Amino acid sequence: MSIRPATAARVGATISGTGLAVPSQILTNADLEKLVDTNDEWITKRTGIKERHISEEPLRTSDLAADALLRALDKAKLKPQDLDLVIVATMTPDMVCPATAAQVVAKIDAVPCGALDINVACTGFVAALNIAANFIASGMYAHIGVIGAEQLSRIVNWEDRNTCVLFGDGAGAAIVSATDDPNQGCLQQSMHSDGSKANELYVPRTEQDVPGQGAAFSGKFDTLQMNGREIYKFAVNTLQSSIHEALEECGLDLNDVKVIIPHQSNVRILESAREKLGLPEDKVYINLPRYGNTSAASVGICLHELMDAGRLQRGDLVVFIALGGGLTWATSVWKL
């Protein structure tokens, strides 16, 4: 533990290590053809997804999160005991209480490290990155474990072809560490919500959660309900406007950006936003074909893949952007 006094000068931040963990079991589009009335051609054309990783018991969200975090610590050449705080972004926690982050801290042998969960659905990793950046910039903490971890397979209705083809399980982790260079780290951040559109993408538990519908509710409680067309429009428009706003706020433009790391919702959504922004293929990272939409985990998984492939270097400008249930959306612009 290396807690700095809250009065210390503002310091820079760096992503000192990343990691990912996914369940070993893979569910292909051909496998889904056996579960619901769908086919590889439809799924590929409308979503770009080819396969996703699916958990088998007894694997839990905290296991995926702990595995990803240990890998990130290894890359950062840090010990679990060096962490000051662990933030887990998830909408599929192990339990309502305790926080999944507290389970992760215990699993990696980092007790009594601070631990908290946040839930802003698919926006989770970017929101957690923003929170971590602020704790580091304030001088309060030296090393924070940021994890997006999900087991969407637990809340998907496997009889609903509209949703079950989209999602997968996994975890992505990043260690955010203090540096002496105050120009390094998070240059801009934003977090937004519009709760009036909650039922465009939600997991209702009782009739109280579906006001006006009551017994007429045709979905299945405790599973993801989604208005696909509305989410599609929201995603394309928000991606475009939020990226412009974020760069404008820090006096930069798209030419300065090495890569945009967006939440992996759907290849069509990302391609459409990329074309509207006039960007070449290599400036918007996409790995949806291999993982599907892993909600809060997706941005962390992308970040790890880019770091691991040596595609990101110190000084590169990266835009993180995510959106999802709530509705929520967030940006984070980093100079690595």
- Residues lying near ligand ACO in the complex (CB under 6 A) are found at 38, 42-43, 46-47, 122, 161-162, 165-166, 201, 226, 228-229, 231-232, 235, 263, 265-266, 269, 293, 323-324
Which residues are CB-contacts of 141 (< 8 A; sequence separation ≥ 6)?
Answer: 2, 3, 4, 84, 85, 135, 178
Which residue shows structure tokens 């918007």? Answer: 284
**Nearest distance from C-beta of residue 271 to ligand ACO, angstroms:** 11
**Nearest distance from C-beta of residue 64 to ligand ACO, angstroms:** 18
**Nearest distance from C-beta of residue 320 to ligand ACO, angstroms:** 14
- Residues involved in catalysis: 122, 263, 293
According to DSSP, the residues that pair with 86 across neighbouring strands are 115, 145
Task: Compare residues 20 and 166 and give the one whose CB is closer to ligand ACO.
Answer: 166
Cα–Cα distance for residue pair 18/73, rounded to 1 Å: 7
Which residue shows structure tokens 């490290």? Answer: 113
Length of the chain: 336
**Nearest distance from C-beta of residue 108 to ligand ACO, angstroms:** 28
Contact 1, 323 (CB under 8 A): no
**Nearest distance from C-beta of residue 292 to ligand ACO, angstroms:** 9
